[in-house]
Structure 1
Amino acid sequence: MKPHTRLLPIALLTGFALAGQANPLSLSLQQSLVRQSTVGGKVTEQFVANPKGVQPGAVVSQVVTALNTGDKTLKSVNVSLPVPKGTHYLGPERTLNTYPTQYSIDGGKTFASAPLKRKVTLNENGKSVTKEVEVKPSEYTAVRWTIPEVAVGASQRVGFRVQVQ
């Protein structure tokens, strides 16, 4: 199989801004290929930072570091990260703190807590019927975390894993 080129430069979005001031929140993204191997009968994971190319089926960790470069503690910091095109969301990065998390299925226009639901119209017995169905996590297009507090000079990390299609 032909490897995909680099996942894609991802724009990080944040719901935090101060009018007329430089943003005191610095965001950086680390993408790592997750490789599993068995050593002594135990499954271990190795992370290959910034992979040059990935194969379909590969699992990639997406981790955002939010650093407070300002002079005041930041409260209720929203950090959003799109799910890269050509991948599907697998779940949160297991090694990180957990914060209130919401998901989007419309490219980050709206967010809600899981499980997400949407209405679909079906044809049942010749009649059009609208039903509410649960959205699969693989259909998520963006994730948003609310970090309660980021102290001056401190950083918090959030992230998720995706699988390359």
Structure 2
Amino acid sequence: MTGRLNRKNISTILTITGLPRPVHRRGHALRKKGTGKDQVPVLVLRNRQGVTTDFKLLVANTKSIEPVLSAVLAPDVMLCSDGAAAYRLATAHLGLSHCAVNLSQGIRARGAYHVQNVNAYDSRLKNWMTRFHGVATKYLESYLGWRRWLDRAGKNITAKSGIEQAIGKNILFNY
């Protein structure tokens, strides 16, 4: 990916149905603020043209983020993020440009740099996933891919084009 790039970490609830774990009782909070042991971090990278890629991470730290960024990003890319330390360190180690936008202080943009594109994608993704009432963690990557496809196709989706795309008969998108 090249150009200005927005980055966001999304956390989804860890679901391990059928695996040994403590029972979750109704009426008790499953979510805690931030990324805890019951959350799965997802790294979303999106440029201004709408090209999106995402990765399910084990943990959201510099060690797990660096290989992803080095594999996907071009050397001349400008990464815009919310200023998390892991991304600041990863971009410094990889020699990439980084612009941090501090949303918690109400700063939405720094000149031409902002993270609103990826925030809008995050909102659409979360709204779309609520209809499933939770996604099993082992299928999370499939759901993310499905959402990327829906986002790229826009209003041009038909049953025929979806099946053709799934079997590789028709190439709708050329990036």
- TM-score, normalization by structure 1: 0.26
Q: When you count strand as a share of all residues, which structure comes out higher?
A: 1
Report the structure number with the largest CA radius of gyration.
1
Q: Which has the higher helix share?
A: 2
Q: Per chain length, whose mean CA-contact separation is higher, i.e. which structure has more relative contact order (CA < 8 Å, sep 6+)?
A: 1
